[in-house]
């Protein structure tokens, strides 16, 4: 129980603690702050075995502050690193930084710092996932489809760049804001996707990550400087996907595709909220990738039955999306849509433009789609070969089980 509680608090509160403490002690001390927050959770895991505090978050926050002061004192650098005074009126001011509105402001400052143009784009995403949302290195590697060693290097480079460039801990304004906001949205999109379709072996959906991404996105919408049509579109997309989240698996944690999901259980309030957000999102002359992805998600939600899905419209939105953001996954999905339309010729044209290496950890999606293509063209031998390739690659147990059932169906058809 204690470990689950601590894991929960780390996910939801470590980013808050790092952000607020960075605002107090400065970006130059970020690594010390991160270590202090980590030490605090280790301390909690030990001390809470006997007695859990009445207010765990307040306990962790105070313990992190105390831990930082201890470190600075041990290093004999208190005068250099700490504010001029941590007593009296300044102590009150520091405590006010832990009010909800100030915590949000600090987290916005942190995520915009992480997305500063002086940082390498790949480093920005890794760094934001680590500092704002408390991702582990393994989780970041999974979200970004890269190796853990690469993530460690990116985090190190980001910290060095922050130190070298002496970046300011603030929310950008003026002409620098749009570019920085774009990077922030990319990070939130990745956080949500890791929750909606996790790469973990034992878990397909991680609702806490979806909720965290939506919380941070709402923070952007609440701030008048960061509110924009693209952010509204991103939040709409999250609402539309979240509306289906309870139907993605059954009681046995088996994966259910769109065809087998119980549409009567799709969450109507989230669909309504998503539609409201989209109405605000389209108040612009140009559409972002989030607009098109939200339009695709909305199209699926609009169909009363799977058979009623307007695949032509979905293919159109994917073509628009691919035009502004060319990616192998879009071509793969367009191939899938064409198969739904029984257009195997066009599907193969899309498949011929991509290869399994394009998808790194998700290469099983490529082989699964090829299997569907060969089944649709009555080539059962190749269909079985590629479903086997997919099964051998996939790591998530729910997805593996789903693919094994598809193989069973193929073998039944063969016999």
pLDDT (mean) for 278-306: 97
Distance from C-alpha of 282 to C-alpha of 42, rounded to nearest angstrom: 46
Over 90: is that where the pLDDT of 67 sits? no
Higher pLDDT: 30 or 338? It is 338
- What is the reported pLDDT for 93? 61
Using the predicted structure, report yes or no on whether residue 415 has a pLDDT greater than 70. Answer: no
CATH number at residue 17: 1.10.1740
Q: Which of 128-142, 197-211, 253-267 has the lowest mean pLDDT?
A: 197-211
pLDDT higher than 90, residue 325: yes
Q: pLDDT at residue 144 above 90?
A: no
- The answer on pLDDT for 20 being more than 90 is no
Task: Examine the pLDDT at 94 and tell me if it is beyond 70.
Answer: no
Q: Is residue 183 domain-shared with residue 134, that is, in the same domain?
A: yes
Counted domains in the chain: 4
- pLDDT beyond 80 at 100: no
In this predicted structure, the answer to whether residue 83 has a pLDDT above a threshold of 70 is no
One domain, residues 82 and 111:
no
Distance CA 117, CA 108 (A): 16
332 vs 365: CA distance, rounded Å: 8
Q: Is residue 219 part of a domain?
A: no
Say what the pLDDT of residue 278 is: 98
345 and 275: one domain? no
**Helix or strand run (H / E) with residue 361:** none
Domain end call among 98, 118, 134: 98
**Predicted confidence band at 264 (pLDDT cuts at 50, 70, 90)?**
very high
81 or 3, greater pLDDT? 3
Task: Say if residue 303 is in the same domain as residue 341.
Answer: no
**How would you class 407 by CB atoms within 10 Å of its CB: exposed for 0-12, middle for 13-18, buried for 19 or more?**
middle
% the chain with pLDDT above 90:
50
Give residue 350's pLDDT band: very low, low, confident or very high (50, 70, 90).
Answer: very high
Confidence grade of residue 337 (pLDDT, cut at 50, 70, 90): very high
What is the C-alpha separation between 43 and 35, in angstroms, rounded? Answer: 12
Domain, as residue range, for 64: 1-98
220 in a structural domain:
no
pLDDT for the residue 155: 94
- The model carries a pTM of 0.82
Whether residue 86 has pLDDT greater than 70: no
In a domain, 59, yes or no: yes
Pair 389, 410: CB distance under 8 Å: no
- Checking if the pLDDT of 311 tops 90, the result is yes
Residue 218: inside a domain: no
Final residue in a domain of this structure, among 144, 178, 211: 211
The yes-or-no verdict on residue 275 having pLDDT over 70 is: yes
Torsion of CA 34, 36, 41, 47, to 10 degrees: 180
Of 88 and 48, the one with more pLDDT: 48
pLDDT on residue 75: 60
Residue 188 sits in the same domain as residue 259: no
Considering the domain architecture, whether residues 12 and 70 belong to the same structural domain is answered as: yes
297 and 344 part of one domain: no
Residue 217 in domain = no
Say if residue 243's pLDDT is above 70.
yes
Does 81 have pLDDT greater than 80? no
pLDDT at 89: 46
- Give the span between the Cα atoms of 307 and 310, in whole angstroms: 9
- 194 within 8 A of 209, measured Cβ to Cβ: yes
In a domain, residue 126? The reply is: yes
The reported pLDDT for the residue numbered 57 is 79
As given in the structure block, the two tokens for residue 93 are 């001011």
Gap between the Cα atoms of 261 and 247, Å rounded: 6
Kindly report the average pLDDT of the chain as a whole number. 87
The domain boundary residue, chosen from 297, 326, 355: 326
Q: What would the mean pLDDT of 4-14 be, rounded to a whole number?
A: 72
Query: What's residue 79's pLDDT?
Result: 54
- Are 366 and 396 in contact by the 8 Å Cβ rule? The answer is no
Same domain, 4 and 94: yes
Q: Are residues 78 and 145 in the same domain?
A: no
pLDDT at position 3 is 67
Banded model confidence at residue 32, pLDDT cuts 50, 70, 90: confident
What band does 1 get if pLDDT is binned at 50, 70 and 90?
A: very low
> In terms of domains, do 90 and 3 share one?
yes
Q: Is residue 201 part of a domain?
A: no
What pLDDT score does 286 carry? 94
Of residues 398 and 290, more confidently modeled: 290
**Is the confidence at residue 71, as pLDDT, over 90?**
no
Helix (H) or strand (E) holding 335: helix 328-340
Contacts (Cβ under 8 Å, ≥6 apart) of 337? 311, 314, 315, 318
Let me know whether 143 and 87 are in one domain.
no
Q: How many CB atoms lie within 10 A of CB 151?
A: 27
| pLDDT of 199 | 63
Which position has the higher pLDDT, 81 or 295?
295
Residues facing residue 249 across a β-bridge: 255
Is 192 within a domain?
yes
Q: Which residue has the higher pLDDT, 165 or 57?
A: 165
Residues 74 and 131 in one domain: no
Give the 3-state secondary structure percentages of the chain, helix then strand then coil, rounded to 5: 75, 0, 25
């Amino acid at each position: 129980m204690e470990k689950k509680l601590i894991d929960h608090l780390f996910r939801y509160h470590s980013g808050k603690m790092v952000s607020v403490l960075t605002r107090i002690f400065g970006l130059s001390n970020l690594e010390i702050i991160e270590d202090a927050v980590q030490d605090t959770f280790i301390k909690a895991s030990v001390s809470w075995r006997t007695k859990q505090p009445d207010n765990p978050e307040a306990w962790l926050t105070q313990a992190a502050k105390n831990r930082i002061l201890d470190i600075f004192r041990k290093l004999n650098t208190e005068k250099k690193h700490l504010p001029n005074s941590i007593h009296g009126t300044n102590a009150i001011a520091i405590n006010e930084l832990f009010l909800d509105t100030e915590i949000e402001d600090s987290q916005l400052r942190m995520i915009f710092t992480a997305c500063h143009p002086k940082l390498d784009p790949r480093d920005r995403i890794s760094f934001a996932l680590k500092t704002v949302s408390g991702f582990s290195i393994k989780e970041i590697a999974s979200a970004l489809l890269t190796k853990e060693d690469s993530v460690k290097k990116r985090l190190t480079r980001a910290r060095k760049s922050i130190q070298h460039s002496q970046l300011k801990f603030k929310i950008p304004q003026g002409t620098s804001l749009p570019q920085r906001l774009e990077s922030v949205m990319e990070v939130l999109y990745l956080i949500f996707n890791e929750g909606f379709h996790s790469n973990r072996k034992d878990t397909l959906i991680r609702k806490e990550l979806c909720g965290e991404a939506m919380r941070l996105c709402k923070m952007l919408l609440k701030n008048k400087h960061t509110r924009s049509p693209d952010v509204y579109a991103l939040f709409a997309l999250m609402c539309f996907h979240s509306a289906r989240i309870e139907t993605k698996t059954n009681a046995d944690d088996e994966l259910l595709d769109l065809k087998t999901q119980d549409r009567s259980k799709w969450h109507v309030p989230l669909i309504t909220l998503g539609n409201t957000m989209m109405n605000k999102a389209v108040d612009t002359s140009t559409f972002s990738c989030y607009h098109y992805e939200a339009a695709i998600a909305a199209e699926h939600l609009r169909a009363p039955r799977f058979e009623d899905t307007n695949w032509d419209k979905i293919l159109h939105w994917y073509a628009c999306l691919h035009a502004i953001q060319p990616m192998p996954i879009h071509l793969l999905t367009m191939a899938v849509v064409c198969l739904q339309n029984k257009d195997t010729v066009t599907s193969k044209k899309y498949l011929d433009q991509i290869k399994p290496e394009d998808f790194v950890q998700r290469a099983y999606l490529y082989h699964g789609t090829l299997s569907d293509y060969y089944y649709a063209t009555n080539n059962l031998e190749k269909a079985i070969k590629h479903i086997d390739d997919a099964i051998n690659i996939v790591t998530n147990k729910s997805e593996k089980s789903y693919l094994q059932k598809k193989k069973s169906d193929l073998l039944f058809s063969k016999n």
